[in-house]
Structure 1
Amino acid sequence: MINNRHSNEKNARSTLPLVIRNQFDELQKRLGIHFNNTSLLYNAFTHSSYVNEHRRKKFTDNERLEFLGDAVLELGVSRFLYATEPNMAEGELTKLRAAIVCEPSLVKFSNELEFGNYILLGKGEEQTGGRMRPALLADVFEAFLGALYIDQGMESVTPFLETIVFPKISVGAFSHVMDYKSRLQEIVQQKNNGQLQYEIIEEKGPAHAKKFVTIVRLGETQLGTGLGRSKKEAEQEAARHAIQELGNRQAEGEN
């Protein structure tokens, strides 16, 4: 069975047009990731409609890799959140992870990487705009992670996520799903440390794309700074940084 599978992968690779293989070579170069088994890479971008139109060439669609990639992504994000959000409760971690791995987020990641340009589609799916279909783009992102995991393990998946996904978490791109201000207020009230105050200290950019810089103080002590496209978003980001700062201080005190 294993030998037959490898034989099918080799056949699929050899029957792909040279121009497509060259495109995938370009993708690997652009990403700085080189697959040991390029058939896995091709497989990750192969839609079922392409398989149906090339049955004699024994291509395999990306649905199984998508299934694996979904689990790999959840693991990678879970490990990151566990390490970087020590003060976040289990329910909050689950909510934030769900926002990161949901379809709209995966579509953004996929579009950022221009994955839509590389999907192997059947003619019918191509003509009906499948290349830009959100569900398809999200699936390809997960399938790519599944392929990378099989080919090189988490040792390569984690650096990839550190480049594409984790920075967006760190700058608060998902802060809209978390009420950090309420969480910070709860922490302060538990210790009766004083009154929180938020202050806009700067407005950046033109009127149509203005950004706000906000600081949050506990008494006279500045705890966090936030940048956002609205005052509310900037305050949430400042509160998130403040929670991290209080966590760091607590850890230092325990040490």
Structure 2
Amino acid sequence: MKLQPPQAEFARRLGHDFTDASLLEEALTHASHSGPVRRDNQRLEFLGDRVLGLVIAEALLADDPDAREGDLAPRFNALVRKEACAEIAEAIDLGSALIMGRSERATGGRRKQALLADAMEAVIAAVYLDAGFAAAQDLVLRLWAPRIRVAEATARDPKTALQEWAQARGLTPPDYVEEGRRGPDHAPQFTISAVLSTGERATATANSKRAAQQAAAGALLERLEGHA
């Protein structure tokens, strides 16, 4: 089959030449536009979620052979969560290629995070079914590479990683602002924001100032790299 221009252009941005273009069409079809002869992307989303998880898990194990499961799990969850998938989809303008009903388009469906995340997972499955695991793995690693690097850096020392990020862009080191403290003296909770000179900031709460600073730095760095 021949893809329509928006889907064909998306395939070029994706960097995969589909042997079976109907797989990509299905991956990009929202339930609002499905019918007897057009399947929506829910089944592919189910498969793509598993393929994504396997690729990311293998990548994290390979990058940090000594890490324990407790260290790997939060990195894994940050990389495969729906918000991350939606941000990747936005970066490659997946929304412009979505096939959906008129009412869904009218309510901003092309920008909805849930729809973008589901379609991103479905696209991964489409590549997997079209060309095998190696092709899907290459796609995921290419699109997720900056986030994987951030996950590894923040796991070691988020404050140092954020400072290096800022300095590499000619910015001053981040400030850490204590926003509040609550709880009894024997179990305090500190809320601290990591703030860049550009105004970008992220806030976290922990049972020590250092832990709150590290968590805030990690959250800010992940957000910055996710939109780079």
Please tell me whether residue 40 in structure 1 is matched to residue 23 in structure 2: yes
Distance in structure 1 (CA, Å) of the matches to 2:8 and 2:100: 18
Question: Does the 8 A contact of 1:103 with 1:135 survive in 2?
Answer: yes
Letter in 1 for 2:106: Q
Question: Does the 8 A contact of 1:99 with 1:174 survive in 2?
Answer: no
Question: Does the 8 A contact of 2:53 with 2:80 survive in 1?
Answer: yes
Question: Does the 8 A contact of 2:79 with 2:147 survive in 1?
Answer: no
Q: State the percentage of identical aligned residues.
A: 30
Distance in structure 2 (CA, Å) of the matches to 1:119 and 1:31: 14
Change (3 A) 1:132 1:88: same
Unaligned runs of 5+ in 1: 1-12, 15-19, 183-196, 214-227, 238-255
Distance in structure 2 (CA, Å) of the matches to 1:205 and 1:31: 28
Q: Indicate the residue corresponding to 1:62 in structure 2.
A: 41
Question: Normalising by the residue count of structure 2, what TM-score does the alignment of the two structures yield?
Answer: 0.69
- Which of 1, 4, 9 is equivalent to 1:26? 9
SS of equivalent to 1:120: coil
Change (3 A) 1:90 1:211: farther
Q: Indicate the residue corresponding to 1:147 in structure 2.
A: 126
Distance in structure 2 (CA, Å) of the matches to 1:204 and 1:148: 35
Q: Note the alpha carbon deviations across 1:79-120, whole angstroms, 9 max, x for none.
A: 000100112111221111011011111111000010000000
Structure 1 runs of 4+ with >6 Å offset:
none
Unaligned runs of 5+ in 2: 175-194, 202-212, 219-228
Question: Does the 8 A contact of 2:52 with 2:124 survive in 1?
Answer: yes
Distance in structure 2 (CA, Å) of the matches to 1:175 and 1:83: 15
Give 1:28 shift: 2.0
Q: Indicate the residue corresponding to 1:120 in structure 2.
A: 99
SS of equivalent to 1:158: helix
- Using the TM superposition, name which of 130-139 and 21-30 deviates more: 21-30
Question: Does the 8 A contact of 1:110 with 1:116 survive in 2?
Answer: yes
If asked which structure has higher relative contact order (CA below 8 Å, sep 6+), I would say 2
Matches within 5 A, 1:72-221: 72-170=51-149, 172=150, 178=155, 180-181=156-157, 203=167, 205=169, 210=171, 212=173
Distance in structure 2 (CA, Å) of the matches to 1:42 and 1:64: 13
Give 1:77 shift: 0.1
Question: Does the 8 A contact of 1:37 with 1:151 survive in 2?
Answer: yes
Distance in structure 2 (CA, Å) of the matches to 1:83 and 1:173: 13
Question: Does the 8 A contact of 2:13 with 2:92 survive in 1?
Answer: no
Which of the two has higher C-alpha Rg? 1
Distance in structure 2 (CA, Å) of the matches to 1:159 and 1:105: 18
Distance in structure 2 (CA, Å) of the matches to 1:148 and 1:204: 35
Q: Note the alpha carbon deviations across 1:102-149, whole angstroms, 9 max, x for none.
A: 111111100001000000010111111111111101001000001110
Question: Normalising by the residue count of structure 1, what TM-score does the alignment of the two structures yield?
Answer: 0.62
Give 1:167 shift: 2.8
Number of equivalences: 181
Q: Indicate the residue corresponding to 1:50 in structure 2.
A: 33
